């Protein structure tokens, strides 16, 4: 029986498996010598930043992955700046074991690879790996095809990559066979001969996403001030609600769930837990769902369970106003429309949040709430997200915040 093959975007929960597969596929590569903790942090950061990280599953198990960026200029600078101390501490054990890698690591941070000249609009494939035990299933070509499709969808005009020249014949042949041409050969300071390949992929290049309105430059500053003030003011209430959640039913006070954010980045959305811990079921909730606790019903009615998301706003993962962040499985529906919606940070409220303030009651009228959500509710939400993109301004944001508060507490 042929095993089912499936390509999907990587989630935050995949970082550990990506690290282990990278280690098996590239045991002698520089990144591998930096250790499992460094590698896991590297892939975790790629996923959080919304870079292109695709996983291929064979028979339900991860069999390979492809990772890269559609924004190569400044890539390593962005990566290191956001997690500098964590990357530094993760590299210490490797430096103790292999002190000879210190000069190379220093050069990588001071003169990153993205500084080389490249044609405008090219994406970069950083790594593509197939589990050594699955090497003859054609998975590499399928991963490359999916990576090219995603890079093209993000507006890339071409794709480039770098790989070893010597003792690497099979890999070089793979890239040439799949349409890459040699751009140049060069030698690293360590004496490694490298091949740099490129390929044009812009045969049906889509229009670039709309740029944010000029008047929204101050939006992030307002988010930070408002979220900080809100957390300081509401701290006693947050502590009280958290304690009540813990007392009512076993489990943590906070519920954390992976959501998709700006430009496809991933983050953990925070809420007060309103369901029994570890209760299985669909990711959409209808009114009367038996998983919801008595206190949870009260918190949901007044939207008090959403208050911890002020932490997400302060962290830059969300905004006060913007399309509501969705779980990855539903973002895979209507991908082109989601790509437009995710050109702004997701928010606590927007036009869709107002229209579907009583979403649970709407879904409870369907025999299959999840299907109703995907086929009826989600398309309408995406229409309203696009309306917000067209009308976004500070005035619109203030009006939406005021209307949200009025409807919740009326």
Cα torsion angle, 180, 186, 187, 189, sign = negative
Please name which of 99, 204, 81 lies closest in space to residue 151, comparing C-alpha atoms. 204
pLDDT recorded at residue 203:
57
Whether the CB-CB separation of 273 and 252 falls below 8 Å is answered with: yes
Domain match, 162 and 301 both: no
Per-residue pLDDT tens digits for 38-67: 899 999 999 998 999 999 998 888 999 999
Domain match, 171 and 32 both: yes
Distance between CA atoms of residues 350 and 380, nearest Å = 13
Domain match, 257 and 153 both: no
- Residue 138 in any domain: the answer is yes
Distance between CA atoms of residues 34 and 96, nearest Å = 10
Question: In Å, what is the CA distance from 171 to each residue of 161, 162, 164, 209, 374?
Answer: 12, 11, 9, 34, 41
Pairs from 278-285 (Cβ < 8 Å, separation ≥ 24): 278/251, 282/369, 282/370, 283/327, 283/329, 283/330, 283/370, 284/363, 284/369, 284/370, 284/373, 285/360, 285/363, 285/369
- Residue 205 in any domain: the answer is no
Domain match, 193 and 218 both: no
Domain match, 285 and 325 both: yes
CA angle 251, 257, 261 (to 5 degrees): 160
Residue at which a domain ends, from 141, 176, 200: 200
Return the SS3 of 37.
helix
Element (H, E) at 5: strand 5-9
Whether the CB-CB separation of 321 and 356 falls below 8 Å is answered with: no
Domain match, 188 and 81 both: yes
Question: 196: how many CB neighbours lie within 10 A of its CB?
Answer: 18
Domain match, 255 and 282 both: yes
pLDDT recorded at residue 3:
63
Q: Name the burial class of residue 49, with classes exposed (0-12), middle (13-18) and buried (19+) by CB atoms within 10 angstroms of its CB.
A: buried
pLDDT recorded at residue 204:
42
Domain match, 219 and 305 both: yes
Please name which of 211, 205, 208 lies closest in space to residue 158, comparing C-alpha atoms. 205
Residue at which a domain ends, from 173, 200, 227: 200
- Residue 207 in any domain: the answer is no
Return the SS3 of 31.
helix
Residue at which a domain ends, from 151, 175, 200: 200
pLDDT recorded at residue 114:
43
pLDDT recorded at residue 117:
64
- Residue 41 in any domain: the answer is yes
- Residue 44 in any domain: the answer is yes
- Residue 273 in any domain: the answer is yes
pLDDT recorded at residue 211:
53
Distance between CA atoms of residues 42 and 34, nearest Å = 11
Per-residue pLDDT tens digits for 234-281: 999 999 999 999 999 999 999 999 999 998 889 999 999 999 887 777
Tell me the HSE value of 219 on the side-chain side, using a 13 A CA sphere: 24
Domain match, 132 and 193 both: yes
pTM above 0.85, yes or no: no
Return the SS3 of 111.
coil
pLDDT recorded at residue 205:
44
| Residue 107 C-alpha from the chain's centroid | 28
- Residue 208 in any domain: the answer is no
Q: Which domain holds residue 75?
A: 5-200
- Residue 293 in any domain: the answer is yes
Distance between CA atoms of residues 18 and 340, nearest Å = 28
pLDDT recorded at residue 85:
82
Question: 13: how many CB neighbours lie within 10 A of its CB?
Answer: 10
pLDDT in tens, the chain (410 residues): 356 788 999 999 999 999 999 999 888 787 888 889 989 999 999 999 899 999 999 888 899 999 999 988 877 777 777 777 888 888 888 778 877 777 766 666 654 444 456 677 899 999 999 988 876 668 888 999 999 999 998 889 999 999 988 888 888 888 988 889 888 888 887 788 889 999 998 754 444 444 555 555 688 899 999 999 999 999 999 999 999 999 999 999 999 999 999 988 899 999 999 998 877 777 778 777 888 899 999 999 899 999 999 999 999 999 999 999 999 889 988 888 998 899 899 999 999 999 998 888 888 888 888 899 999 999 999 999 999 999 988 899 999 999 999 988 77
CATH code (residue 35): 3.40.630.30
Domain match, 178 and 231 both: no
What total number of domains does the chain contain? 2
Element (H, E) at 238: helix 219-248
Domain match, 224 and 267 both: yes
pLDDT recorded at residue 206:
43
Domain match, 32 and 54 both: yes
């Amino acid at each position: 029986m042929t095993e089912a093959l499936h390509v999907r975007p990587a989630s935050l929960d995949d970082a550990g498996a990506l690290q282990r597969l990278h280690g098996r596929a590239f045991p002698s590569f520089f990144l591998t010598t930096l250790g499992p903790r460094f590698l896991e942090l590297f892939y975790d950061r790629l996923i959080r930043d919304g870079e292109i990280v695709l996983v291929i599953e064979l028979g339900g198990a991860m069999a390979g992955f492809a990772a890269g960026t559609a924004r190569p200029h400044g890539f390593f600078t962005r990566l290191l700046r956001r997690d500098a101390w964590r990357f530094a501490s993760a590299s210490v054990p490797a430096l103790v074991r292999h002190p000879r890698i210190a000069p190379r690591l220093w050069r990588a941070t001071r003169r990153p690879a993205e500084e080389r000249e490249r044609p405008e609009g090219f994406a970069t494939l950083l790594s593509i790996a197939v589990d050594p035990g699955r090497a003859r299933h054609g998975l590499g070509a399928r991963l490359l095809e999916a990576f090219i499709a995603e890079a093209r969808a993000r507006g890339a005009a071409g794709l480039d990559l770098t790989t070893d020249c010597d003792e690497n014949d099979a890999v070089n042949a793979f890239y040439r066979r799949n349409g890459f041409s040699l751009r140049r050969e060069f030698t690293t300071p360590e004496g490694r001969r490298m091949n740099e390949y490129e390929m044009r992929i812009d045969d049906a290049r889509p229009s670039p996403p709309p740029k944010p309105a000029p008047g929204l430059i101050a939006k992030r500053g307002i988010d930070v001030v408002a979220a900080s003030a809100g957390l300081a003011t509401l701290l006693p209430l947050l502590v009280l609600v958290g304690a009540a959640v813990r007392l009512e039913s076993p489990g943590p006070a906070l519920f954390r769930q992976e959501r998709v954010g700006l430009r496809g980045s991933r983050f953990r959305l925070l809420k007060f837990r309103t369901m029994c811990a570890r209760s299985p079921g669909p990711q959409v909730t209808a009114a009367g769902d038996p998983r919801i606790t008595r206190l949870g019903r009260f918190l949901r009615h007044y939207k008090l369970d959403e208050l911890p998301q002020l932490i997400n706003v302060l962290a830059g993962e969300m905004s006060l106003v913007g399309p509501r962040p969705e779980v990855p499985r539903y973002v895979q529906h209507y991908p082109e429309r989601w790509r437009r919606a995710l050109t702004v940070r997701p928010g606590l409220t927007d036009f869709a949040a107002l229209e579907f303030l009583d979403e649970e009651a709407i879904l409870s009228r369907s025999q299959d709430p999840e299907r109703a959500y995907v086929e009826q509710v989600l398309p309408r939400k995406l229409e309203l997200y696009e309306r917000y993109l067209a009308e976004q301004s500070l005035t619109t944001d203030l009006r939406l915040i005021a209307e949200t508060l009025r409807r919740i507490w009326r």
